[in-house]
Structure 1
Amino acid sequence: MPHTHSTSFRRYAWLVFPATCLGLMLSLPAGAAATLGETQLQDRDGSKVGEITMAETPNGVLLYAKLDGLPSGVHAFHLHETGVCEPPFKSAGGHLTSETLNAHGYLREAGPHLGDMPNIHVPDNGRLNLEVMTRVSDMDTQIFDDDGAAVVVHQGPDDYQSQPAGAAGPRIACGVIEQLN
């Protein structure tokens, strides 16, 4: 059976960069803008399952993620509009969005949300390092606004089109994004 997302995935594959380089550190590239963020992802039991560092670049916000302890499989990975992570993580609200990007998913004409990111594929050992370029263009107004923002991992994959969140299932990990400077 053919994979239904293959054409669309190739169209957006530039958004995800495997971070398998020797010596990968959660550090920012030379020339990264001064506005920085970080988060510690926790599962519903409060166990740490990852850390993420964020850098604002001239082309969007780049996330560096080091995940460890997530269940293996394909999971939706999103930026959510509220910086609160109380299990079952509905407190993080919906996806980070804007007036012009008001539909969820890469397969929607009016999408994707600012907080939509490609699915992550966690191997059997539960460890994954990755880099993701987002559509967020101004961390001060879009991430560090009055109610903050969070990174959320869902139980299942994002189908890149179902409203409002890609039919990705329950939220299994969450981290409030903190400003570093």
Structure 2
Amino acid sequence: MITPPYAKARAIPATALLAALTLAGCANMGKTPTTKLPVPDAHAPLVDARGADRGRVDIFRDTTGLRLELVARGFGAGTYGMHVHAVGQCNAPDFASAGPHWNPTGAQHGRENPLGAHHGDLPNLVVEPDTIGRATLQLVGSRLTGDGGVIDGDGAAFVIHAAPDDMKTDPSGNSGGRVACGVIVAGGG
């Protein structure tokens, strides 16, 4: 039988290993971390009708358009529609002030609609039991500012709805009431 090279390694006593790890940890104490998280180009803090924190969306420009990083807190297990809306207002209790979906090209609603979709149409958010909702979304060909950009004269908002989006019914996908909303603002906040 041939013994693989790694099988010849000498076992290190657990106490020696623990001591080495402890010293390595102490060597980095008080030092500033060398890696920094990227600063988003825009963000939207999400709140519910009572004003409670429901998460955040960070928006980054990338080579294909915009990348949205969502963290949604306080949602029960289930599937929720979510969209970018055309007006930068989130007036409780129903967030109707956020207006319709962001739709700079005048398309119909729905990622599965042959005549769609709005630029603001997004996949559904699926929250598993006992988890925080997370999603990374791409808005290919979309701009943050400028002609047809998300942040225009009246702003924009990110909205999470009470029910799943059916991905085809115009104008809103039958996604139900608006349960969380965040005004999209430039910068990392």
TM-score interval, smaller chain: 0.7 to 0.9
Aligned partner of residue 160 in structure 2, secondary structure: strand
Greater fraction strand: 1
**More deviation, 170-179/64-73:** 64-73
2:97 is matched with which residue?
Answer: 91
> Which residue, 167, 172, 180 being the options, matches 2:179?
172
Measured in 1, the distance between the counterparts of 2:42 and 2:159 equals 15
- Report the Cα offset of residue 70 of structure 1: 1.8
Q: Cα offset for 1:126? A: 4.9
Alpha-carbon distance change, 176 to 97 in structure 1, aligned in 2, over 3 angstroms: same
Contact 1:80 1:95 in 2 (8 A): yes
Matched-pair contact (CA < 8 Å) for 1:69–1:126: no
Distance 1:158 1:135 in 2: 20
Equivalent of 2:150 in 143, 146, 154: 143
- 2:139 alignment partner in structure 1: 134
Distance 1:119 1:102 in 2: 19
C-alpha separation in 2, matches of 1:60 and 1:147: 21
Runs (4 or more) in structure 1 with deviation over 4 Å come to none
The answer to whether 1:102 aligns with 2:102 is no
2:80 paired residue among 75, 78, 86:
75
TM-score (norm 1): 0.77
Deviation track 1:117-154 (CA, whole Å, cap 9, x = no partner) reads 00010122251222111135211132221100000000
* Closer, same or farther: CA 126–93 of 1 in aligned 2, 3 Å: farther
Alpha-carbon shift at residue 108 of structure 1 (Å): 1.1
Total equivalences in the alignment = 149
Counterpart of 1:41 in structure 2 is: 46
For 1:121, the aligned partner's letter is V
One-letter identity of the residue aligned with 1:133: Q
SS of the residue aligned with 1:91? helix
**Could you list the runs of 5+ residues in structure 1 that have no partner in the other structure?**
1-26, 30-34
Task: Indicate the percent of aligned positions where both proteins have the same amino acid.
Answer: 31
What amino acid is the match of 1:94? P
In structure 2, the CA distance between the partners of 1:108 and 1:166, relative to structure 1 (3 Å rule), is: same
Give the aligned partner of residue 12 of structure 1. none
Return the alpha-carbon distance in structure 1 between the equivalents of residues 108 and 131 of structure 2: 31
- Using structure 2 for the length normalisation, give the TM-score: 0.74
For the aligned residues, what is the CA RMSD? 1.7
- The structure with the largest alpha-carbon Rg is 2
Identify the residue that residue 124 of structure 2 maps to in structure 1. 119
1:109 and 1:77 map into 2 onto residues whose CA distance is: 20
1:65 equivalent in structure 2 = 70
